[in-house]
Amino acid sequence: MPTYEVELNGQKFEIDAPDDAAVNLAVKQLQTQSAAPKNAPVEGGYSSGPGWTKPATAFGSGIADMALMGFGDEIGAALDSAGSKILPWREPVTYEQALEKTRADQRSLAETNPVSTIAGKVTGGVGSAMGLGRAGLSLAARAPAGAGLGSLVARGAADGLLLGGAYGFGSGEDGILNRGYEAGKGAVIGGIVGGAVPVAARGVSSAYRSVMDALAANRTAQNAGTSPEVARMLSNVLEADGSLGAQGAQNMARAGQEAMLADAGPNARSVLDTAIQSGGPGSVAARNAIDARVARGADDLTTALDDSLGQPQGVFSARQAIADTARPALRDAYEVAYGAPIDYASQQGQNLENIIRTRIPGNIVGQANRLMQLEGNQSQQILGRIADDGSVTFERLPDVRQIDYITRALRQAAESGDGQGAMGGQTPLGAAYQNLSRQIRTTLRDIVPEYGNALDTAADPISRSQAVRLGGRALSPSVRTDEFANSLDGMSIAERGAVSQGIRSEIEHTVSQVKRTVQDGNVDAREAIKALRELSSRANREKVTLAIGEQQAERLFDEVDRIATTFELRAGVAENSKTFARQAVAGRIKDITEPGPIGTVAQGEPLNAGKRLVQILTGQTPQRITERQQQIYSELADFLTRPAAQAIPAFRAMTNYGTQTAANQVQARAIADFLSSAGRRLAYPLSGQLREGQR
């Protein structure tokens, strides 16, 4: 910009002005100021005052221009013209003169102090945008949380169009047509800038997240001992069904020392199934690892059942063994008990006498006598007279031996004849026989401790045999839990052990019926699955707990649940439809037989020949892509079936990856929100600057 030297009243002035018209206006202003009284305030202008004030003036001018939507020069000219007519020391100027002077001042300040002017316009534009947003007049600021990119672009473009159009209209200088043209230009520029802000913010946010996720995947892969592709894919898959974190860790902990990554959740098992079905060396190794785990699981289940219930002998064999081995011990234990006297004078003795005299049916007395006779115990018969009505009158109260045989007869009657109900249950009469036998034995145990000791240490062979039989029927759906609990009430330790043996023998008998199938020749695994099913129902678990006690049952079922994870995994990757294998083979044969560039030309497809040539040069042929896919499948199969010592640290690494990616997502969203918010505020001043640059 040229500098003019002007001498006025003996003083020289240097004036920076774009043209002669601006110099003439400056001279008139100087003449007006020199004619004004000394105490009158000096008019502001681009040539007045010290030079250091010009940047501040330019900054304020920029703020006013943007804050007033380009109407700052008109408003300033109107105020200047009105003030010149009111203040006595001012020479009156017209609105047109004041407007011309104001615009000349703005242009001069913008050219001599461009940085300050731009800073002022940015400040004024941001302030205006913030004010409109807080007043609820900005569509972009009122966008709902989670609004899509399309919505944000449309709202930002609408804001930019309105603000840019308003500023363009206010900045026009040469009539309504010029203002309309400038308004249209400002609206277009503002709409483009306002719509571009959300896109730019989303792009920066996505780029940030991609970079941070890639870095996290590399760290995870290094810690987990696999490739970044596998680590990233598995993390996403596990996160999809909620097994990446506490739930997956709990699922793997349930598998105990046999834990694999495939135990983390359903999605992990599904991925393993796909990887195994794809074939390749990794799938073979994975299937071998699962088969070995299944074999160990079958052995562990057998051990757990043997430890808790005893080794199976078979219900018949167990009952026969009881009869054969118990005789010597029984003879000694019961001879001591049978020789002990009963104190019928005591209160308990009187209660026992009352039961014997009033509640024992005559047929039971007769059956007890027959039992004594069959077993060769004829030294004393129960001396009782049976009347026609079935009542019994005892000539002499029975001793311990005789009462013991009465209880045996009662129990025999409870399980046969009138006492036996449909489907192996008991009739009310059978239950009455059972309860009476239990009451007599309990009372006699209290009166004669030797009898109680005989029951506990060398249980009656018949009772133990019946306990084995009870255990053999225990897991049948026809045996109710409450009925089973009632049968166990009052049993000795030895009898409860016999019940456990019956349960174990029946489980062994059940699993021994499993047959080999064409699809699955692993009979051991199929037997273990059958046993697991037998112990899976709540009713059967309650019955086993009643038989062996809560503490031992808890250990057994914890082990059963752990072993069950092995067979659940095996079921998830069992051979099913061969469609996958057929499709894979067909795809590989197609890749192998696919013609090269020359063959493609020979087939009359020159365009595809060029495509094939590019694939060969870049190494992106279908064969190479298939090989890479096979490699990833193999890595997945191997990674998902690694032993617990490797699987657990790998799962923790992927959990950390999931946490990091979640944090990256939050940070990326925060960056997008910040840039969108800042962009909305900068869109107006930026569009104004672009419009100014087009003038």
Classify residue 620: in a domain, yes or no: no
* 36-40, 194-198, 493-497: least confident range: 36-40
Report for 31-35, 162-166, 246-250, 573-577: range of highest mean pLDDT: 246-250
Q: For strands 3-8 and 11-16, give the pairing.
A: antiparallel
Distances (CA, A) of 6 to 34, 55, 223: 14, 23, 80
pLDDT given for residue 174 in this prediction: 66
pLDDT score of 578 more than 60: no
pLDDT score of 602 more than 70: no
DSSP 53: G
pLDDT given for residue 512 in this prediction: 77
Quote the strand ranges of 366-444, DSSP E: 384-386, 392-394
Query: Confidence band (pLDDT; 50, 70, 90) for 630?
Result: confident
pLDDT, tens digit, 9 for 90 and up, residues 611-622: 656 656 565 566
Tokens in use for 389?
């009505």
Which comes out higher in pLDDT, residue 195 or 236? 236
Kindly report the number of other CB atoms within 10 A of residue 583's CB atom: 11
The per-residue b/e assignment along 209-241, b for 16 or more CB within 10 angstroms, e otherwise, is beebbeebbebbbebbebbbebbbbbbebbbee
> What whole-number distance in Å separates Cα of residue 171 and Cα of residue 183?
8
Classify residue 210: in a domain, yes or no: no
pLDDT given for residue 440 in this prediction: 93
pLDDT given for residue 554 in this prediction: 92
Comparing CA positions, the residue from 439, 384, 385, 429 lying closest to residue 407 is 439
* 29-33, 350-354, 360-364: least confident range: 29-33
> What whole-number distance in Å separates Cα of residue 139 and Cα of residue 530?
66
pLDDT score of 693 more than 60: no
Domain that holds residue 415: 308-572
| CB-based contacts of 539, cutoff 8 Å, min separation 6 | 477, 481
> What whole-number distance in Å separates Cα of residue 337 and Cα of residue 441?
13
Q: Is residue 141 a contact partner of residue 692, using CB atoms and an 8 Å limit?
A: no
Query: Confidence band (pLDDT; 50, 70, 90) for 384?
Result: low
Comparing CA positions, the residue from 395, 379, 386 lying closest to residue 363 is 386
Q: What is the residue type of 603?
A: Q
Classify residue 478: in a domain, yes or no: yes
> What whole-number distance in Å separates Cα of residue 43 and Cα of residue 274?
85
pLDDT score of 15 more than 80: no
pLDDT score of 75 more than 70: yes
**Alpha-carbon dihedral of residues 498, 500, 506, 511, nearest 10 degrees?**
-140
pLDDT given for residue 518 in this prediction: 40
DSSP 40: S
Last-in-domain residue among 505, 540, 572: 572
Tokens in use for 170?
């206010």
pLDDT, tens digit, 9 for 90 and up, residues 401-449: 889 999 989 988 887 766 565 545 668 888 899 899 999 999 999 999 9
Q: Is residue 454 a contact partner of residue 329, using CB atoms and an 8 Å limit?
A: no
Classify residue 472: in a domain, yes or no: yes
Q: Is residue 566 a contact partner of residue 256, using CB atoms and an 8 Å limit?
A: no
Q: How many CA atoms lie within 13 A of 476 on its CB side?
A: 15
pLDDT score of 207 more than 80: yes
Query: Confidence band (pLDDT; 50, 70, 90) for 541?
Result: very high
> What whole-number distance in Å separates Cα of residue 629 and Cα of residue 277?
13
Average pLDDT over residues 542-554: 91
Q: How many domains does the chain have?
A: 2
Tokens in use for 292?
């070995």
Can you count the helices (H) and strands (E) in the chain?
28, 4
Query: Confidence band (pLDDT; 50, 70, 90) for 623?
Result: low
Phi first, then psi, for residue 642 (nearest 5°) are: -70, 155
Question: DSSP letters along 435-485, please?
Answer: HHHHHHHHHHHHH-HHHHHHHHHS--HHHHHHHHHHHHHHTSTTS-HHHHH
Query: Confidence band (pLDDT; 50, 70, 90) for 43?
Result: very low
Classify residue 35: in a domain, yes or no: yes
pLDDT given for residue 53 in this prediction: 64
| CB-based contacts of 384, cutoff 8 Å, min separation 6 | 362, 365, 392, 393, 394, 395
Query: Confidence band (pLDDT; 50, 70, 90) for 590?
Result: very low
pLDDT score of 41 more than 50: no
| CB-based contacts of 254, cutoff 8 Å, min separation 6 | 263, 561, 562, 565
> What whole-number distance in Å separates Cα of residue 677 and Cα of residue 141?
8
Kindly report the number of other CB atoms within 10 A of residue 52's CB atom: 7
Average pLDDT, the chain: 75
Length in residues, the chain? 695
Q: Is residue 337 a contact partner of residue 450, using CB atoms and an 8 Å limit?
A: yes
Strand, helix or coil for residue 386: strand
Q: Tell me how far apart the terminal alpha carbons of the chain are, to the nearest angstrom.
A: 18
Query: Confidence band (pLDDT; 50, 70, 90) for 577?
Result: very low
Last-in-domain residue among 118, 137, 156: 137
Percent of the chain with pLDDT over 90: 7
Classify residue 340: in a domain, yes or no: yes
Distances (CA, A) of 625 to 229, 630, 633: 14, 9, 12
Last-in-domain residue among 514, 547, 572: 572
pLDDT, tens digit, 9 for 90 and up, residues 507-518: 888 877 765 444
Classify residue 59: in a domain, yes or no: yes
Distances (CA, A) of 353 to 356, 401, 476, 574: 5, 15, 39, 67
Q: For strands 384-386 and 3-8, give the pairing.
A: unpaired
Q: Is residue 562 a contact partner of residue 258, using CB atoms and an 8 Å limit?
A: yes
